[in-house]
Amino acid sequence: MAGCGHGTDGAQRYCMILRCVIFVAVFLPATAMIGYNLKRDDESQLMTLVYGLIISWALAFVVGVPLIIKHKPLSLMMWILLALYGVLVATGLFMCIRRRIIAGPKAPIAPFKKSEIIYLGLFLGIVAFQLFKAIFYACADGDDAFYIATARTAEISNRMYELDAYIGVPVDEMPFRYVFAPFPMWEAVLARVSGVHTATLAHTILPPILIIVTYILYNEISKLLFGAENREKRFMFLTLTAVFEMFANVSTSTSGTFLLTRARQGKEALACIILPLLFYELFRLARAEGELKIKDLMLLFAAFGAASLSSLLGNVLAPIMIAGAALWMLVKRKRFGNIVLICTPVIISAATVLMYLKIR
Amino acid sequence: MLDNLRDFSGSGFLFILLLVSIVFLGFRLKRGTVKTLTVYLPIFVLAIFFCPLWNIYMKNAEDGEILYRLLWMIPFAVVVCSALVEAVHVLPERYRAVSFAAAVLIIIISGKYIYSNPHFSKAENSYHVPQDVVDICDDIRIEGREIRACFPIERIQYVRQYSPYVCLAYGRTVLLGNGYNDYSQVEEFLDDEVIDTEGLTEELRRVDTPYLILKHDTDMTEKPDKYGFNFVKSYGEYDLYLDENAYLGTWTEFTDN
């Protein structure tokens, strides 16, 4: 197995499993600490994981695209990202410790009713089944031949989008449609840093993480829908969403199908994490009567960066959602300054699309 | 757009369930943020999706068939499941377990089980790549350089996910049919019911491809060894052949000599 020396098969397997465990043990807390920078006080700790990913993706986009266009090596992208992630982990850790010190004792959690335990148990059981399937079952998808091969090629060759992912020859011209949505390069960076094979990372490690992140978002949305204290409704809702996603295979195009079959591609991140996050943000915004705080705006910027990283179409869908929110704020006669502010992240999408049209 | 909608919604039952949920929530919920997000936002997105201007775009753009992705802006699961939860809670508490089971049943009947997808199979390794591909790639790899191989069409999508050291004689673009000029014409030979061995081996040599992988039961005009591609080893249902004239040293050794 690549990257694990020349030992026996058993030793190589042990080495690979160890690398995977170390990767998860470092990646999850680091991502959560990055996300802590944007976590609001009324949100669950689990949301730090969602925000951590969103920030990581946004930074990967901002750093990655110029480097790719300039034909710089992947290692440079890796070092810049590591430095940025390191700073954000440090600030997140500082904020986390400070909040722990300032915060008083936690309010006791009300005992669970029998029905709540049943729904929660059902939900966790279904999600555990989905994670088992994601890890131990392969779902062949032709697009992986491009996305994962592109990431693997970059990881090994240290060159980004300069070799044809399918046949391996140098390309005459970069595939700009994909260069402007370099989600595979984020995966290549993770693989290069961790020493975990890109295919293992993309097929075995990332899918369960991304699936869990989607359900964390659904959990937070359920609080807005039914109120945090209405646990029976919330857990019933979560159980139904888990069933819904598992039966969303009416076509290859639904977000549910993407969630459980392609949780390694940028399109899945867009459909199952970034757009639901924007939905959640708009929900919060509507609840706050259109009042924007600095963290809300920062989060919108990060979500737009992440949308751009995930897919070129992210530069269309994210602005449409914000346009909907702006329209609602206009109808509701909210402060004009806030309407302008909420639209500012669209600059990222507009700049990306304009650059793409100019350069392709 | 109707074609896009058909491609997206399949049988259409989940889409109908979404529409029913929007209508139900529209009547059930009072004015407020929940209604705005679960009723008006989906209507807003549907209005955008059905905007006739997209027809102009579809006629002129190459990627018109992916407009269904506009519908990703509607959180289907959130809208449908919140409607079902509300519907379950309309009934008295003593019917809750039964109505919850009915809600689950509605989803199951309207949808299609994702793991019945024929593309799912037990993973053979952590790469989720067929083990025969892994073994072949490991065996043909040469330290310090790449090597080109010709895999059967059902295996090409996996090869470079596992090993970028193995280059391919033709790639997945042949399946996409979007006018890419591929590296070779190898796939045209492989596409024939009975493969023209002489033509295939000539083409493989032309594009510096020393390794040929074929299924045991592939119909060929002659055995590959007649044209210098000798059998090396079997990997499950695949046979590996190597061109007897191939240079398998490193480039450094090649240039030194």
* Predicted confidence (pLDDT) per residue in B64-105, tens digit: 778 889 999 999 999 999 999 999 999 998 999 999 999 999
- In this structure, the dihedral spanned by the alpha carbons of residues A99, A101, A103 and A109, taken in order and rounded to 10 degrees, is 100
Interface touch B126/A256, C-beta < 8 Å = no
Cα A19-B122-B108 angle, rounded to 5 deg: 115
Does the structure show a pLDDT above 50 at A2? no
pLDDT tens digit string along A122-135?
A: 999 999 999 999 99
> How many Å apart are CA B237 and CA B215, to the nearest integer?
6
Supply φ then ψ for residue B243, to 5 degrees: -65, 125
CA nearest neighbour of A46 among A281, A219, A258: A219
Q: How many CB atoms lie within 10 A of CB B94?
A: 7
Q: What is the largest CA-CA distance in chain B?
A: 88
Does the structure show a pLDDT above 80 at A1? no
pLDDT at B27: 95
pLDDT tens digit string along B148-192?
A: 999 999 999 999 999 999 999 998 887 776 545 567 888 889 888
> How many Å apart are CA A35 and CA A30, to the nearest integer?
9
* SS3 at position A41: coil
Average the pLDDT over A247-255 and give the result: 92
CA nearest neighbour of A242 among A348, A341, A120, A151: A120
Interface touch B38/A225, C-beta < 8 Å = yes
Report CA-CA distances (Å) from A247 to A138, A217, A254, B36, B194. 18, 19, 10, 26, 41
If you measure CA to CA, which chain B residue comes closest to A116? B97
Interface touch B77/A165, C-beta < 8 Å = no
Strands B166-168, B211-215: pairing is unpaired
Does the structure show a pLDDT above 80 at A90? yes
Amino acid found at B231? F
Cα B178-B180-B184 angle, rounded to 5 deg: 130
Strands B120-122, B147-150: pairing is unpaired
pLDDT at A60: 98
Count how many residues are written for chain B.
257
**Which chain A residues are Cβ-neighbours of B85 within 8 angstroms?**
226, 233, 236-237, 240
pLDDT tens digit string along B183-229?
A: 788 888 988 889 999 999 999 999 999 999 999 999 999 999 999 99
> How many Å apart are CA A104 and CA B194, to the nearest integer?
77
- CB of A236 within 8 Å of a chain B CB? The answer is yes
Identify from A143, A241, A262 which residue to disrupt to test chain B contact, counting B C-beta atoms within 10 A and taking the largest count.
Answer: A241
Amino acid found at B236? G
The domains found in chain B, sorted by start residue, are 2-116 (no CATH), 131-256 (3.40.190)
> How many Å apart are CA A180 and CA A307, to the nearest integer?
11
* Average model confidence (pLDDT) across chain A: 93
Average the pLDDT over A329-352 and give the result: 91
Complex ipTM tops 0.95 = no
Interface touch A2/B104, C-beta < 8 Å = no
**A 172-201: CB under 8 A from B:** 197-200
pLDDT at B22: 97
Do the Cβ atoms of A299 and A38 come closer than 8 Å?
yes
Work out the angle between the directed axes of helices B13-28 and B76-90 (0-180°, nearest 10): 60
pLDDT tens digit string along A132-153?
A: 999 999 999 999 999 999 999 9
pLDDT at B255: 60
> How many Å apart are CA B190 and CA B200, to the nearest integer?
8
- CB of A12 within 8 Å of a chain B CB? The answer is no
Domain boundaries defined on chain A: 9-99+112-359
Average the pLDDT over B18-42 and give the result: 94
Among partner residues A244, A247, A283, which is closest to B33 by beta-carbon distance? A283
Closest chain B C-alpha to A303 CA, distance in angstroms: 14
If you measure CA to CA, which chain B residue comes closest to A256? B77
For A69, counting Cβ atoms within 10 Å of its Cβ (0-12 exposed, 13-18 middle, 19+ buried), the class is middle
Do the Cβ atoms of A73 and A188 come closer than 8 Å?
no
Closest chain A C-alpha to B228 CA, distance in angstroms: 24
Share of chain B above pLDDT 70, in %: 95
Q: What is the largest CA-CA distance in chain A?
A: 69
